[in-house]
Amino acid sequence: MTSSRIRTWYLWHKWTSIVCTAFMLLLCLTGLPLVFHEEIDELTGAHPAVAEMPADTPLASLDLIVRNALAARPGEVMTFMSWDDHEPIVYATTAPRVDTQDAFFIMGFDARTGERVDFGNPEEGFMHVMAHLHIDLFAGLWGTLFLGFMGLLFVIAIVSGVVLYGPFMRKLDFGTVRANRSKRLKWLDLHNLLGITTLAWVFVVGFTGVINTLGTPIIKFWQYDQLAEIVKPYEGMPPVTDFASIDAAVKTARAAAPGMNVQFVAWPGTGFSSKHHYAVFIQGETPLTSRLLKPALVDAQNGTLTAMRDLPWYAQALLLSQPLHFGDYGGLGLKIVWGLLDIATIVVLGSGLYLWLGRRKTSLESRIEELERGGLVTQPVPGAAE
Amino acid sequence: MSAAKPKPGRFRRLWGAPIALALLSLAGLIAALVGDGLYDAASYLSLAVPLVVIGWYIARRTR
């Protein structure tokens, strides 16, 4: 590689890193507790628990749960219903208006009795602050898109870093850590070692994070694209006033997809459905198919199934990006590795920052020369790696 | 400085370990998606390899 090309890559690496590093450090630090949010919620009692009952206890009607939820929130409307992964708990989400962006209120109900289950308010506390700092900086969609742009810069920083690894390591053995020279050289070697060994993981988590920031636009596009096509016959019809039974609607969806579970239901008019349908999202049984949701659209007025179709590729890509970013799909062992790799990334970011801060007095040329010669600027051309 | 044509041996010496680690990591990331139990174990064990490699070379650093 020529010096001028190294220089170009070096400048890309430097500037993308300078802009995104502070935010990436924030994302790594807040992401660490979020990886373990299930475990933390269980320890702090923020995750609800229900009484043990025989496994064959019949389930309460979902219509009862809807009535109880609306009775608890007078004047509000139903927006979503979802099912707990581990406990027999149904969550009902209400809001003042069906098309609200953020005024949601979530409640838990015992799936067998329909009784309200108390749990901590998910909209407050340490984990809530961590989640917002990680997802949107308390700035809504624009905050999310901003973090997505920072993530994109981070991905460019990773790619340019890998390109620079080539000339830097040309004369060095893999894993060289020279702790006997300067503090700076030691951290430069560590930056390279940790960066190149964790490369694939950091790239995947960074890239899927960027895709996740596009979640809202992706779902919106699905509504205008595939969903609009399916519900074309409903165009111009008045809004639903007399809602069909949700219990029957979920049963209809289940019957249309044997062997699948219902993961959540979106009410008509919400961001995940049409104006005239319950969107019943069903999931498969394996770790992979449980992520690839499929919506069954049930007419919310008469309860019949209008359509059930796989989501388009861009929505599937979004759904697949979630586990690959969260690391929540392989048990506690995977979460621990995820946390350790996150810490390694913090070291790469921190050492990068240190190298930049500690090197501002030297010229750009000498730093590029350092890259070309594996950090051995003082010697003409090192004969062999140490 | 113009780049010398890298010999095959040199490419392997430079990029062999990074490519092997990247492929292992990707296999680990996919394993837990397609199955449970043994697949999960295969997943976190292969993703732990980069961590072990880091630990190994830090322990072997030249002092």
Question: What is the mean predicted confidence (pLDDT) over A77-106?
Answer: 89
CA distance A144 to A136: 4
User: Chain A contact for B63, CB < 8 A?
Assistant: yes
User: Which residues does chain A have within 8 Å of residue B54's beta carbon, measured at their own beta carbons?
Assistant: 193-194, 197-198, 344
User: Chain A contact for B11, CB < 8 A?
Assistant: no
The 10s digit of each residue's pLDDT in A36-70 is: 998 998 888 777 778 888 888 899 999 999 999 99
The 10s digit of each residue's pLDDT in A245-284 is: 999 999 999 999 888 889 999 999 998 999 999 999 999 8
ipTM: 0.90
Q: Do B22 and A200 touch (CB under 8 A)?
A: yes
Q: Do A286 and B2 touch (CB under 8 A)?
A: no
Q: Do A201 and B47 touch (CB under 8 A)?
A: yes
Helix A62-72 to helix A246-256 angle (10° resolution) is 140
The reported pLDDT for the residue numbered A383 is 37
The reported pLDDT for the residue numbered A384 is 37
Sequence-distant (≥ 6) Cβ neighbours of residue A131 within 8 angstroms:
A30, A34, A37
Question: What is the mean predicted confidence (pLDDT) over A139-155?
Answer: 96
Contact (CB, 8 A) for A71 and A87: no
The reported pLDDT for the residue numbered A386 is 33
User: Which residues does chain B have within 8 Å of residue A333's beta carbon, measured at their own beta carbons?
Assistant: 40-41, 43-44
CA distance A47 to A85: 12
Question: What is the mean predicted confidence (pLDDT) over A20-43?
Answer: 94
Give the residue from chain B lying closest to A171, CA to CA: B14
Give the residue from chain A lying closest to B30, CA to CA: A324
Distance between B7 CA and the closest CA of chain A, angstroms: 12
The 10s digit of each residue's pLDDT in A344-357 is: 999 999 999 999 98
Percent of residues, chain A, with pLDDT higher than 70: 96
pLDDT band at B1 (very low <50, low <70, confident <90, very high): very low
On average, the pLDDT of chain A sits at 90
Give the residue from chain B lying closest to A172, CA to CA: B14
The reported pLDDT for the residue numbered B8 is 67
User: Chain A contact for B29, CB < 8 A?
Assistant: yes
Q: Do B32 and A386 touch (CB under 8 A)?
A: no
Lowest model confidence (mean pLDDT) among A27-31, A82-86, A145-149, A151-155: A82-86
The reported pLDDT for the residue numbered A124 is 75
Residues pairing with A266 in the sheet? A80, A279
pLDDT band at A104 (very low <50, low <70, confident <90, very high): confident
Sequence-distant (≥ 6) Cβ neighbours of residue A249 within 8 angstroms:
A265, A278, A280, A298, A300, A303
